[in-house]
A and B are shown apart, each in its own frame.
Chain A
Amino acid sequence: MGTRTLVCGAGGLTYELVDRLRERGHLVEGVATASLVVRADAGTAVDAAADALGALDLVVHVLGSPGHPTPLVDLSTDEWVAACEEPMVGALHLLQACRPHLGPGSRVVHVVPTSAMGGAPGFAATATAAEGIRALNKSAARQWGADGITATVVAAAPELLIGPAANSAGGALTGPALGRTGGAEDLAGIIDTLASPDAAFTTGSTIVADGGTWMAP
């Protein structure tokens, strides 16, 4: 049986990722990011998806971002809330809603831009949310490990998750070692690997899959 996968995110990349995971044999249900802001809505949406799949082997949360850079001092409070606080709240609600459907061998994967680690001028709200979500993932890893559930983070190129206006992680002097910033197929590959039994001993980690730009530490 294929991996029973719930994907949560917004935008074209998420849809492409769903297609690529299906090509790899995953049975995929989606949950819209907008449905995560209210805890009860998140529960309803996740329960429906989990019921359709039977259980959740893999939960993938893709952090969205505004595509246009705005200096923090020029952001409205509403823009800050939408780009920073709601994604953090949503990530929490998603984990809470998914927990009853997770069991031994289940995986949680958060996909964030490497700007979580390097900071992102013009996208401070997204970077702030991303690093908060990375810490939430570590708490999930520590709390749920005893039940055989792992949680990991895939850090992708900012260009991929935010858009062409996003600078490379940490203002790197050089571009990606592999010559490109990647796409949905690259993400599907690493996520599928993390979902495999061979990744059962990896938890709380951040796997950087950005073609070799961000190399710290």
Chain B
Amino acid sequence: MSTDRGVGLLDGRVALITGGAAGIGLGIATAMAREGAAVVLAVRRTENGGPAAEALRSGGHRALCIRCDVTSRDDLEAAVAATVGDFGRLDCFVHNAVGGNVAPGPIEGMDDGWLGLLATTVRASFDAAQVSHPHLADAGGSFILMASAAGMEGSANLPAYAMVKASQRALAKSLSREWGPYGIRVNCIAPVARTPAMDRAYRANPNLEEQLVGRTPLQRIGDPTDDIGPVAVFLASDLARFVTGQTIVADGGGFLGL
């Protein structure tokens, strides 16, 4: 299915993707690169992101890996500055990174471990928005946050994850209204895809794959590059020039609550 070249939907554009070393972030970066974008993988561990960027470059794409811990505002600021320094502009910021490993469990059992999740999602989105805003305004760009169906339908076993993912949607909606006059569009993607994180979840719950596929009309789990990436391409491209404040659920139809 995959091709190394798209039709140039993002020719001349520059995108920064946090957490782009693997999984959905890398899928989004790859899909954007294939459509002509220069992509920056802003990653916590360059030993993973470096080879990923190198692979994109060897495929003829423009790609860069920058070390960036999204819980550090300075890192985010530096990543944006390096992006603009190297590629001259920033058209799309995708905040995809999520950290803070929170085990499934009851609300009453949650300890401060979930604050890592809060930091990598809620706080990092705030910092990312502030540091990227001037450049996105210059470019008439696109800001993309990652949401989850868990945040909409309510999660029985991942209350912290549901909480922070839900919050991203209200942030995107609020920013879409604040940033519309700047020509910046702000949207969310709520994906389900086969990622290293999903593989870990499968190992923890052997029935999970069957449950997920069973409720999915398209009867499979998404591919980060071929199923989720194109949604981000769409949101970053002129095809979505009149789309802002929205959540696109890319999960094969599993969640139909919107």
A interface, CB within 8 angstroms of B: 39, 71-73, 75, 77, 80-81, 84-85, 88-89, 92, 95-96, 99, 115-125, 127-143, 171, 204
Contact = CB atoms under 8 A, between A and B. Distances in A.
B155 interface: yes
Given A92-B110, A131-B166, A142 B156 contact: yes
Contacts of B167: 84, 88, 128-129, 131-132, 135
Nearest to B186: A119
- Mostly helix, strand, loop or mixed at chain B's interface? helix
Contacts of A121: 174, 177-178
Contact of B170 (A96, A99, A130, A141): A130
12 contacts: A80-B123, A88-B122, A92-B107, A120-B170, A120-B174, A127-B171, A131-B151, A131-B166, A135-B154, A135-B162, A143-B156, A171-B177
B133 interface: yes
Query: Which of B73, B123, B171, B172 lies at the interface centre, i.e. has the most chain A CB atoms within 10 A of its CB?
Result: B171
A127 B155 contact: no
Given A72-B175, A88-B163, A119-B173, 20 more contacts: A77-B126, A84-B126, A85-B123, A92-B107, A92-B110, A116-B170, A119-B172, A124-B175, A132-B164, A132-B166, A135-B154, A135-B163, A137-B154, A138-B154, A138-B155, A138-B162, A139-B159, A143-B106, A171-B177, A204-B154
- Mostly helix, strand, loop or mixed at chain A's interface? helix
B154 A139 contact: yes
A139 B133 contact: no
A152 to B, nearest CB: 12
Interface string B143-187: 000000011111110110011111111111111111000000000
Contacts of B151: 131, 135
A122 B150 CA distance: 27
A101 to B, nearest CB: 12
A132 to B, nearest CB: 4
B108 A119 contact: no
A96 B171 contact: no
B122 A132 contact: yes
A75 B133 CA distance: 13
Nearest to B73: A77
Contacts of B108: 95-96, 99
Interface residues of B, number: 43
Contact of B178 (A72, A116, A137, A140): A72
B245 interface: yes
Contact of A99 (B107, B133, B153): B107
A130 B169 CA distance: 11
Contact of A136 (B107, B152, B169, B178): B107
A73 B107 contact: no
A81 to B, nearest CB: 8
Interface in B168-222: 168-178
Contacts of A117: 170, 173
A65 B106 CA distance: 28
Interface in B106-156: 106-108, 110, 112, 114-115, 118, 122-123, 126-127, 129-130, 133, 150-156
A134 to B, nearest CB: 6
